[in-house]
Amino acid sequence: MSSDFSSRSTQKRNWKIWWELIRPHTLTAATVPVLLGSVLALLEGKTHLLLFAAMMIASLLIQAATNLFNEYYDYKRGLDTEKSVGIGGGIVRHGMAPGLIMTLALSMYGISVLLGVYICASTSWWLAAVGSVCMLMGYLYTGGPYPISYTPLGELFSGLFMGFLIILIAFFIQTGYVSSTAALVAVPSGILVGLINLSNNLRDRDGDKANGRRTIPVLLGPEKTIVFMGIMFAVAFLWIVGLVAVRLITPWALLALLSIPKAAQTAKGFVGKVEPITMMPAMKASGQTNTFFGLLLALGLLVGYFL
């Protein structure tokens, strides 16, 4: 009886380890852009549920695989230790074989490729090139001889490929074209996804600096990075206000402004903090800002469409 209980407990712990390993709090950075792009397609009177589902699953797998690549290469380069904050910890805390982590990441990429083949066959094979670049960027963020994560361009690349482009791809596969409206609405989402990365780099600033990374927080310092973060949050929200002001989108899109308190919580949460563990609530709030913003914007667009 006791051995059965122990087996069940171990199984639960293993599931928890695997769950933490893919860093679930980051997955909304993949799902929200797909949802928003699909809502924008619906506004054009076009939708395709199977393509939407395939795109959603592929985006989730690519984001999870990117997290695993990050886990693997940070371990290989000696950046992660048992005391590191904000990592899955499968290797350094739970003794998982690094090769297993890489195999899982590549398997997720493999499934994404199969889904991508279905999407391309149903729409356009030009998407194969775009999707391949997105997947390559996910790998090169921490992999390869010159990781993007070691440069000040991490936020730009993550925002562009995981925010902006994902919206446009989700829109394109259901409409067959990319509209200027979709591109403009995608801009603030790209900014907010980039700010999730900025929050992560702000938390890891001291460790990154010690290991030779030249991220934005390393170059600007914590105080100026927080100011920069606040400015970019303002740009994202004012962008939506501007689109409504020129009557490009419905005034109901202003529902997205209800996520401003979460943005404020993010920026304020970093003020005066030194230890990485004390920055985790602000880090979490940055992801929630993107999630709430995207969901509220999608809801506002839908309300405006049906009314």
Between the CA atoms of 50, 164, 27 and 114, what dihedral angle is there, to the nearest 10 degrees? 40
Picking from 157, 171, 153, 164, the residue whose alpha carbon sits closest to that of residue 187 is 164
- What the block records as the tokens of 61 is 């797998």
Q: What is the pLDDT of residue 4?
A: 46
Q: What is the pLDDT of residue 7?
A: 44
pLDDT one digit per residue (tens) for the chain, 307 residues: 444 434 444 444 566 777 777 777 778 888 999 999 999 999 999 989 999 999 999 989 988 888 888 888 877 776 665 565 555 556 776 667 788 888 988 999 899 999 999 999 999 999 999 888 888 887 888 777 888 888 999 999 989 988 899 999 999 999 999 999 999 999 999 999 999 999 989 998 988 888 888 999 999 999 999 999 999 999 999 999 999 999 999 999 999 999 999 999 999 999 999 898 899 899 899 999 999 999 999 999 999 999 8
- What the block records as the tokens of 216 is 């934005």
Q: What is the pLDDT of residue 174?
A: 95
Instruction: Decide if 123 contacts 172 (C-beta within 8 A).
Output: yes
The owner of tokens 């460790």 is 207
Residues 6+ apart with CB under 8 A from 132: none
The owner of tokens 């997955």 is 27
d(CA 89, CA 59): 23
d(CA 231, CA 195): 11
Instruction: Decide if 46 contacts 174 (C-beta within 8 A).
Output: yes
Burial 29-48 (b: 16+ CB within 10 A, else e): bbbbbbbbbbbbbbbbeeeb
- What the block records as the tokens of 137 is 């960027």
d(CA 240, CA 179): 17
CA angle 185/189/193 to nearest 5° reads 165
d(CA 158, CA 29): 10
Instruction: Decide if 140 contacts 147 (C-beta within 8 A).
Output: yes
Residues 6+ apart with CB under 8 A from 231: none
Q: What is the pTM of this model?
A: 0.85
Helix 222-245 to helix 180-203 angle (10° resolution) is 160
Q: How many CA atoms lie within 13 Å of 83's alpha carbon, on the beta-carbon side?
A: 3
Instruction: Decide if 139 contacts 69 (C-beta within 8 A).
Output: yes
